[in-house]
Structure 1
Amino acid sequence: MFKSFRHQQWKMLLLTMVCYLFFYTGRHNFGWAARGLSEHFHVPYSTIGWISFSMLIGYAIGQFANGNLADQYSAKILMPLGAYLSIITNIAISFVETIEWVLVLWALNGFFQSMAWAPGGKLIANWWDASERGKAYSFYTMAAGLSSVITYLICIYILQETQSWRMLFRLPVLILFVTATIYFIFAKNQPSDLGYPNFEENADTDVIIKENWKTRYHKVLSNRDFMLVVLAFAFESMARYGFIFWVPVHYLGKDWKQNTKSLWLTFLLPLGMAVGALVFGALSDNFFKRNRVASIRFGMLMSSAIASAIYFTPIHHFLLQGIIMFLAGLFVYGPQSNFWTLCPEMLGHERTGTGIGLMNMFGYLFAALGEPLFGKILDTTGNSANIFLMIVLISLFSALIISWKSLFRIR
């Protein structure tokens, strides 16, 4: 029976990973379309930044609601539903003729995209106990990093073949339709759905009776240490999206069509993110002895140093820039696997979905605030490298907050 259950554990983790593996095709494609949107609609980059802001705000609002819903309703329904609605919204954007419609639809897309991460995290928490949950979340976070890799590959190929921003909203999301449907058919919310006993900490029915949605929000929001972790995560997310959205703009210079090697440099950023998710899971458990705070602090300090290196390194030094891109992804994204693990460790299993949702909400709220700021810096200075100086400061803020005195006891 143990072998059978173990098989189902890995099956549910892999199903969740595969579904989320293609979610970013409906979100991280926007950075690649930024230059085309700016040129087609004759708008400055600050306007493009505000459109990106609208998606991130929609995502943040969605996380506030969907994280709590994940503690009460079915993840196998919420996750595919978000995928289908996001696909429809992306395809609709590819046909619009006004920048206002792009903004409205992209904001809605943010809400729909938010229906996946917390429910998926809740399902994983149901199937994996505390002793192995760090490993499970590192694999889940790796899937998100690989999602950026896949999105970057597809978008680079589309730009080289058609150079059409509209295709960036039509083609990548088609694979998401397939994986979301597979998830809906085969995923199970918890072990008891297949006749296995739930973990003792997974007494979901009793918890729902004792705690309604208001109580869960109150318990999470009143946890001071957890909210400091959330604030540190918020700055980490701002730095992460600073890289994700503006690195393509940085390397898509005016002469990129004559030197397409610069496109492939950007691919190393999400590749580093995927590797970072696994690396930091191992670092936290082994080198830092489950001290998640120390692991996160290390990652954000290194992220600050790498962002500084991007600013000072000439863009035509391809080998050096490639190494830096990989390290940027590794250090800015790797700590996320430690952040997610802190949710069940600090809040308990029964409030994991609510904690993940709130953490992600603040993360995307801060990331949203950063987008128009980054766009304004580019419009004002005309030099995309200046964006990375801001990322240096943002990463340092995250490291400082996670090191706050009251957090040293968190392991």
Structure 2
Amino acid sequence: MDFLKPAPYQPIVKNQTEIDGDYRYWRIRICYSIFLGYALFYFTRKSFTFAMPYMSADLGLSKGELGLLASILYISYGISKFISGVMSDRSNPRYFMATGLIITGILNILFGFSSTLWVFALFWGLNGWFQAWGWPACCKQLNYWFDQSERGLWYSICSTSHNLGGALIPLLAVFCAVNFGWRYAMFVPAVCSIIMGFILINRLRDVPRTLGLPTVEEFKNKIIEPSESQETKHSLLSVSEILFKQVLNNKYVWIFSISYFFVYVVRTAINDWTFFYLTEAKNMEDMLASSGVFWFEVGGFVGMIAAGWGSDYFWKGNRVPAMVVCSLGLIFALLGLKYVPADHVFLDMLLLALIGAFVFGPQMIVGLAAAEFVDKRAAATSNGFAGTLGYFGAAVAGYPVGKMIDAWGWHGFFIALLISSALILVMLLPLWSSTDKKDKTTDEKGKMEWAPKTTLKET
């Protein structure tokens, strides 16, 4: 696994004009590469979602069994995301992300050749494990290449990659399933992802210092952490420092991570069950129902950009108000979707777009807030820890929600989502007045304030 090790730092010998030009070039190249790469991770993660009805018809699988497979992926992904966060903080994101994408493509092909539940479970569980090699690498790149004052916008732009992937995969997968069979709904996205993995190897690079560039804080003339510009040793925290001095003892990382659990219950339930809901409860045809997920993702695209930009512009880096506003809007949009009668396609699509905007906004912001709470050398781990709890929530949206639908119909589906949305609001509303620093403390008036984060001495 030596190829995953971080690239060595290079001495800084360029003048300011060269540094400015290189930063502009590499930030654009890094961003479009991780944007397209992570979109393709969604091709191999969500292909199964849109193959489910056709697998059920072909193989006689129940909703509970299909939900079980979804839960297996989410549990595997959730566990792996924390471990992968630690690995990513100590790896070269160029090879880490690309390797994960290539392996997920191979596992999708093997899944498509299978026909029994236990084999499906094996390959889909492994797929979940390597799916988690995607976003921690993206998180590391964003925290090293962009300053906090601009990170909310760029983080949100790159986060919309899964909206692109999520919007395209239902159209591609359903087209393949309808015309060629459900197995091709697995094969075609897998081949696309393998090709993209090799493109990532070509396009991505490690952090700025490995290219002979100063840290982004130095580049922005805002040095907030010690930096020895001419050192060539890659500065890393130990695993114990990452886990016990930065992440697991940070109570606010826990608060955000638990709220992430409920965000993912809603997001994943809508993403995985909307196709079934629209075809069964609202009698839509397959291609029209698949466009519902498309509009959910389009709304998410807009919501993430708005939440990221708003948290930078209106709240000066405080991420909580944007999350609270979104969670309140989410409750009303879910109620609308539940009570709009059948044959009102425009309203259904509009409400799904609003749900996407209100769920993807906090989904992106919570992960960013968790990453900003810690030393940037532990950012991927903190983000991965939040992601682990988030994907436990996603697992709840699989088998448990599938059984609820079997038992109580779609009424139970909406009750679960509304309760989750209300809990997000209740957890985050008390943090509204926080200002933009790093670790929480309480000032003399009792108001929650952000105090400077603790940065460990680089070694």
Q: State the TM-score, normalizing by the size of structure 1.
A: 0.93
Q: Who is 2:13 aligned against?
A: none
Give the Cα separation in 2 of the matches to 1:297 and 1:213. Answer: 33
Identity rate of aligned residues, in percent? Answer: 22
- With 171-180 and 181-190 compared, the bigger mean Cα shift is at 171-180
Q: Secondary structure at the match of 1:100?
A: helix
Give the Cα separation in 2 of the matches to 1:250 and 1:202. Answer: 53
Q: Secondary structure at the match of 1:171?
A: helix
Q: Within the alignment, does 1:40 sit opposite 2:58 as a pair?
A: yes
Give the Cα separation in 1 of the matches to 2:281 and 2:252. Answer: 47
Deviant stretches of 4+, over 6 Å: 254-257
Q: Who is 1:217 aligned against?
A: 243
Q: Secondary structure at the match of 2:397?
A: helix
Q: Secondary structure at the match of 1:115?
A: coil
**For the Cα contact (< 8 Å) 1:68–1:213, is it kept in 2?**
yes
Distance 1:206 1:257, change over 3 A: closer
Aligned mate of 1:59, from 74, 77, 94? 77
Deviations 1:189-234 (A, max 9, x none): 11123221223548595752xx311221112011011210111111
User: For residue 214 of structure 1, what is the amino acid of its counterpart?
Assistant: S
- With 251-260 and 356-365 compared, the bigger mean Cα shift is at 251-260
Q: Secondary structure at the match of 2:280?
A: coil
For residue 385 of structure 1, report the CA deviation from its aligned partner: 5.2
Give the Cα separation in 2 of the matches to 1:251 and 1:116. Answer: 31
Q: Who is 1:173 aligned against?
A: 190
- 1:20-169 maps to which residues of 2 (within 5 A)? 20-162=38-180, 164-169=181-186
For residue 389 of structure 1, report the CA deviation from its aligned partner: 2.5
Q: Who is 1:357 aligned against?
A: 384
**For the Cα contact (< 8 Å) 2:85–2:383, is it kept in 1?**
yes
Aligned length: 406
- With 250-259 and 94-103 compared, the bigger mean Cα shift is at 250-259
- With 343-352 and 71-80 compared, the bigger mean Cα shift is at 343-352
Q: Within the alignment, does 1:290 sit opposite 2:317 as a pair?
A: yes
For residue 251 of structure 1, report the CA deviation from its aligned partner: 2.0
Aligned mate of 2:262, from 228, 235, 238? 235
**For the Cα contact (< 8 Å) 1:75–1:122, is it kept in 2?**
yes
Distance 1:153 1:205, change over 3 A: farther
For residue 309 of structure 1, report the CA deviation from its aligned partner: 1.3
Deviations 1:81-102 (A, max 9, x none): 1111111111111111211111
Q: Secondary structure at the match of 1:176?
A: helix
* Larger RCO, structures 1/2 (Cα 8 Å, 6+ apart): 1
Q: Secondary structure at the match of 1:189?
A: coil
Give the Cα separation in 2 of the matches to 1:212 and 1:193. Answer: 20
**For the Cα contact (< 8 Å) 1:311–1:386, is it kept in 2?**
no
Deviations 1:243-302 (A, max 9, x none): 110111112339968674333233211111122111111222223443311110111121
User: For residue 310 of structure 2, what is the amino acid of its counterpart?
Assistant: L
User: For residue 183 of structure 1, what is the amino acid of its counterpart?
Assistant: L
Give the Cα separation in 2 of the matches to 1:300 and 1:65. Answer: 29
Q: Who is 1:302 aligned against?
A: 329
Give the Cα separation in 1 of the matches to 2:285 and 2:173. Answer: 18
Deviations 1:309-337 (A, max 9, x none): 11111232111111111111111112223
Q: Who is 1:391 aligned against?
A: 417
Q: Secondary structure at the match of 1:103?
A: helix
Gaps spanning 5+ residues in structure 2: where? Answer: 1-17, 218-224, 437-459
Q: Who is 1:262 aligned against?
A: 289
Q: Secondary structure at the match of 1:234?
A: helix
**For the Cα contact (< 8 Å) 2:29–2:203, is it kept in 1?**
no
Gaps spanning 5+ residues in structure 1: where? Answer: none
Q: Secondary structure at the match of 1:28?
A: helix
Distance 1:274 1:385, change over 3 A: farther
For residue 399 of structure 1, report the CA deviation from its aligned partner: 1.5
- With 52-61 and 300-309 compared, the bigger mean Cα shift is at 300-309
For residue 146 of structure 1, report the CA deviation from its aligned partner: 1.4
- With 214-223 and 341-350 compared, the bigger mean Cα shift is at 341-350
Give the Cα separation in 2 of the matches to 1:259 and 1:240. Answer: 21
User: For residue 381 of structure 2, what is the amino acid of its counterpart?
Assistant: T
Distance 1:76 1:29, change over 3 A: same
Give the Cα separation in 2 of the matches to 1:12 and 1:353. Answer: 16
**For the Cα contact (< 8 Å) 2:170–2:290, is it kept in 1?**
no
